Amino acid sequence: MSTWSMISLQDANSPMMENLTMFHDHIMTINILITMLVLYIIVSIYLNKIINRTVMQNQLIELIWTFIPMIILFFMAFPSIKILYLMDEIFSPVITIKCMGHQWYWSYEYSDFSNIEFDSFMIPTEELNNNEFRLLDVNNRMVIPFNTYIRLLISSVDVIHSWTIPAVGIKVDATPGRINQASLLTIRPGLYYGQCSEICGANHSFMPIVIESTNPKLFISWIKNFN
């Protein structure tokens, strides 16, 4: 999760977030190189005394500053297109979970198991334990096994919400009357926090999301003991 000292992205806990992090670094590297080159040209032109007031055109330079940006855009576009296709792909899911947005909480239904359905409300500040986070912890976490492909079916019963977990690289709109689909795969156990990322009303800031990624054996035990 994000802390006060962080100035970069959260640690990735899914192959998708790893790809997004590498793409971010790739784009930032290109942007920094372009910025340094442009600043060098501006300073060089400002400081030198060479002027060409009578030169009307230079087709070689025009070709260079046309084709070089095209090549740079290709290097930026191909990784982006690859990630877009990966985000839409569903790889033989083992478990399907329905996530429904409400004003202002989330409800979850494990379609592959009978009677596994619950609401997830934010824990009020006055009821928090010392090891829980204000405005982020919930009374019922979404428990999933790690290293398991999971299909998420996301929708809403009232207004538009957005189901978002930054550490796993997922942000999907929950739109009333429409079911959006996403793939989820966590690569290690832990607690991962998110919040509704669509302004959905007065209590928009008070409908957090918590994923508890755990060992598959512990997940099966949780399913068996679910009340």
Residue 211 has pLDDT above 90, yes or no: yes
- Alpha helix (H) residue ranges in 90-164: none
49 band by pLDDT with thresholds 50, 70 and 90: confident
Q: Can you list the domains of the chain with their CATH numbers?
A: 15-88 (1.10.287.90), 95-226 (2.60.40.420)
Q: Among 72-76, 128-132, 148-152, 183-187, name the one with the lowest average pLDDT.
A: 128-132
Mean pLDDT, the chain, integer: 89
What DSSP character marks residue 127?
A: G
- What's the chain's Rg over C-alpha atoms? 24
Distance (Å, whole) CA 92 – CA 89: 10
In the prediction, which pLDDT does 160 show? 94
Backbone angles phi, psi at 49, to 5 degrees: -105, 15
Q: Which of 15-24, 82-91, 119-128 has the lowest mean pLDDT?
A: 82-91
CA dist., res. 187 & res. 20, Å (int):
15
Residues 6+ apart with CB under 8 A from 20: 9, 12, 83, 169
Cα 49 to chain centroid, rounded: 50
What is the pLDDT at residue 130? 85
Q: CA 37, CA 31: separation in Å to the nearest integer? A: 10
Whole-angstrom Cα distance, residue 136 to residue 158?
22
The verdict on pTM exceeding 0.75 is: yes
Q: How many Cβ atoms are within 10 Å of 175's Cβ, its own excluded?
A: 17
Say what the pLDDT of residue 91 is: 76
Instruction: Extract the tokens encoding 126.
Output: 């006055």
pLDDT score of 89 more than 80: no
